[in-house]
Structure 1
Amino acid sequence: MFSERTGNSVGFVRHGTTDTNLILERSINRVQLLGRVGQDPVMRQVEGRNPVTIFSMATNEMWRSGEGEPTSTGDVSQKTTWHRISVFKPGLRDVAYQYVKKGSRILVEGKLDYGEYMDKNNVRRQATTIIADNIVFLSENLRDQ
């Protein structure tokens, strides 16, 4: 690509704008999670907005203490991480609501989203959400339905 400002070849794309100082660079926000659903999905709709399907998903990380040593006989440990999944895409949102079930093994692809909300005690909280744009069903019972 060619930069109008410097006359050099660069790795960014200038978006059509009148502000010559604004440069938009390519970036990636991509997440893949493979795990099990922690709760049946719920569909919520805030007035004036499109509905969203929401569910939780667990991923597990396992390791053996002393791993990497030639005679590793340590205990196996596991850490479970819970993720909040939101599905806004109309077709996928409805499929997720209908077929995602607690305990299902799924692969979710999407992007990370950070936000804030006020809890019931008017305390500002931060929330991390995965905005799903693809779900692959891996549980046998769901593929047969």
Structure 2
Amino acid sequence: MLRSASAQIIRQAVRYRSTDASLILERSINRVQLLGRVGQDPVMRQVEGRNPVTIFSLATNEMWRSGEGEMSSPGDISQKTTWHRVSIFKPGLRDVAYQYVKKGSRILVEGKLDYGEYVDKNQVRRQATTIIAGQVKHPHKHTRA
């Protein structure tokens, strides 16, 4: 009972201590779902001193009808393709994706966004946005009865 009360007091003290932001823990969400087609066969890379990572690109398409008139009238259909860099660090998933995901496969990727920097071969600092995958699935094919 005393331990429980002490723990509760400490949690409240941490929660209300606004001068030290490192002690305040709050929930946040960084979640991404992408359904698209793989751009190239995955590659596995290993940086010295780190675990290997499987990397591939995934294309998603957005389509819309432009022009005047009602939805049923024909108009110009536009499409935009967005390419996403997907990285898989999770050991089991990383190996399965490397072996079975192939260029052109339609897959569902669930994970989180990661923003980082790197220095390219010309020593120019670049920014990179990556999807860190936690799950990769082939979407189920639904049939109508």
Q: TM-score range by the shorter chain?
A: 0.7 to 0.9
| In 2, Cα distance between equivalents of 1:78 and 1:63 | 7
1:4 maps onto 2:12 in alignment:
yes
1:56 maps onto 2:57 in alignment:
yes
Unaligned regions of 5+ residues in structure 1, if any?
A: 6-12, 141-145
1:84 maps onto 2:85 in alignment:
yes
In the TM superposition, what is the alpha-carbon distance from 1:23 to its structure 2 partner?
A: 1.0
In the TM superposition, what is the alpha-carbon distance from 1:71 to its structure 2 partner?
A: 5.4
* Map of 1:38 onto structure 2: 39
Query: Secondary structure, in 3 states, of the residue corresponding to 2:94?
Result: helix
Query: Secondary structure, in 3 states, of the residue corresponding to 2:12?
Result: coil
Look at both structures and tell me which one has the larger radius of gyration over its CA atoms: 2
Task: Return closer, same or farther for 1:74/1:121 CA change in 2, 3 Å cut-off.
Answer: same
| In 1, Cα distance between equivalents of 2:69 and 2:40 | 36
User: Which residue identity does 1:4 align to in structure 2?
Assistant: Q
| In 2, Cα distance between equivalents of 1:104 and 1:131 | 19
User: Which residue identity does 1:127 align to in structure 2?
Assistant: A
User: Which residue identity does 1:51 align to in structure 2?
Assistant: P
Number of matched pairs: 130
Query: Secondary structure, in 3 states, of the residue corresponding to 2:24?
Result: coil
* Map of 1:94 onto structure 2: 95
User: 8 Å contact 1:105–1:139 — kept in the other structure?
Assistant: no
User: 8 Å contact 1:87–1:131 — kept in the other structure?
Assistant: yes
| In 2, Cα distance between equivalents of 1:94 and 1:4 | 43
In the TM superposition, what is the alpha-carbon distance from 1:70 to its structure 2 partner?
A: 5.4
Task: Return closer, same or farther for 1:67/1:55 CA change in 2, 3 Å cut-off.
Answer: farther
In the TM superposition, what is the alpha-carbon distance from 1:139 to its structure 2 partner?
A: 8.3
| In 1, Cα distance between equivalents of 2:91 and 2:71 | 52
Unaligned regions of 5+ residues in structure 2, if any?
A: 1-7
Over the matched positions of the two proteins, sequence identity in percent amounts to 81
User: 8 Å contact 1:104–1:138 — kept in the other structure?
Assistant: no
User: 8 Å contact 1:106–1:139 — kept in the other structure?
Assistant: no
User: TM-score with structure 1 length normalisation?
Assistant: 0.80
Q: Which has the higher helix share?
A: 2
Please give the per-residue CA displacement for 1:37-65, whole angstroms capped at 9, x wherever unaligned: 00000000000000000000000000000
Please, what is the CA RMSD of the aligned residues? 2.7
* Map of 1:8 onto structure 2: none
